[in-house]
Amino acid sequence: MARALHLLFVAVLASCLVAVLGLSGGAADAVAPGGRWLVSELRKGDFSIKVTNWGATLMSVVLPDSRGLVLGYDTVAEYVKGSAYFGGLIGRVANRIAGARFKLDGKAYRLFPNDGKNTLHGGHRGFSKLNFNRFSRRPGRVREVPDFKPARAERAHERDGAGQGYPGEPRAPRLHWNLGGHGSGSILGEKVHLFASRYTLVDTVLIPTGQLAPVAGTPYDFRRPAAVGARMGGLLRRGVTGYDTNYAVDGGERGGLRRQLRRVAIVRDGASGRAMELWADQPGVQLYTANGLSGVRGKGGKVYDRYDALCLETQGFPDAVNRPNFPPQIVRPGQVYSHDMVFKFFLAVMLDC
């Protein structure tokens, strides 16, 4: 049986503790398209994060006993040139839109195809490639999270629907986690527990078929804690190189655009004892095992390769705008869109394993 020693520290990340309020348009010491690059460090004791206005990107997460738990680069210029989506705010629509097109109220819209014939993460110039010029460190609303003292969460991001419908969701950063420390190697030994009993079936280019399938009896079953690599062989036999899978969070489809926070996932690194718990209010979560990383030079000269990180990206279901049976993601004029994520970090001692 596993027991956690006392909760040593809790950290909350919600869109880098930054509510994005506007896009840049001015110049000023311009070294980037649309404006100036800024880097802000938020610190509480030995816990700190760094965020830049380029793509509202979270550059680092440092806990009291670590040198950094997210993959990334040393400089903003490297994020501008990079293509790995390290820590960037994903949108306007997260994940894939089939055929780079959709219809809204009978009107057809064509998008930029940047993933074969499909649109991925907002196209060639999504939110992760924009310069944001207004930030707020003001806490958002208080939300109840069991066993979380104080029970406080920052507003991840909010956008009202004024002016037009909003077909999708910008979400919290696409964080590439390695609880052993960035650059420490593979995450296949880290244990993952997902509170999700179903996943979306996809075709050969990762577009959902519209069907949800039970995870039971498949390599996608993490309803009990299991090492990420424990079932990787089952994926490889299916011709799949790793996890890039949307899970339907249990109970997450209820509530329309104003959903409740639910526990989504727990990740534990056995070597360091570090653990992370994720709560969110979205119907889905994408488990991604950095299948596309290959020889990417990152912070401190570390080289990142396949399986050196995992992402847990809370979201609406991929291609929901083209799938009426999926939870809706359209935000109408006058509606308020919100997306909250809470990360709890702690050190635990495994007993009686």
pLDDT of 45 higher than 90:
no
pLDDT of 124 higher than 60:
yes
**Backbone φ/ψ region at 40: left (φ over 0), alpha (ψ -120 to 50), beta:** beta
Query: How far, CA to CA in Å, does 122 sit from each of 88, 174, 188, 284?
Result: 12, 13, 29, 18
**Residue 163 contacts by C-beta under 8 Å, 6 or more apart in sequence?**
333
Query: Residue 141's CB: how many other CB atoms inside 10 A?
Result: 11
Query: Which pair of structure tokens corresponds to residue 227?
Result: 């090492």
pLDDT of 105 higher than 50:
yes
The model's pTM is 0.84
Point out the least confidently predicted range of 44-58, 148-162, 280-294: 148-162
pLDDT of 149 higher than 60:
no
Cis peptide before 92 (omega within 30 of 0): yes
Q: Report percent pLDDT > 90 for the chain.
A: 53
Q: Report percent pLDDT > 70 for the chain.
A: 76
Query: Which pair of structure tokens corresponds to residue 169?
Result: 């969701």
pLDDT at 127: 85
pLDDT at 320: 93
Tally of CA atoms within 13 A in the half-sphere of 33 that contains its CB? 9
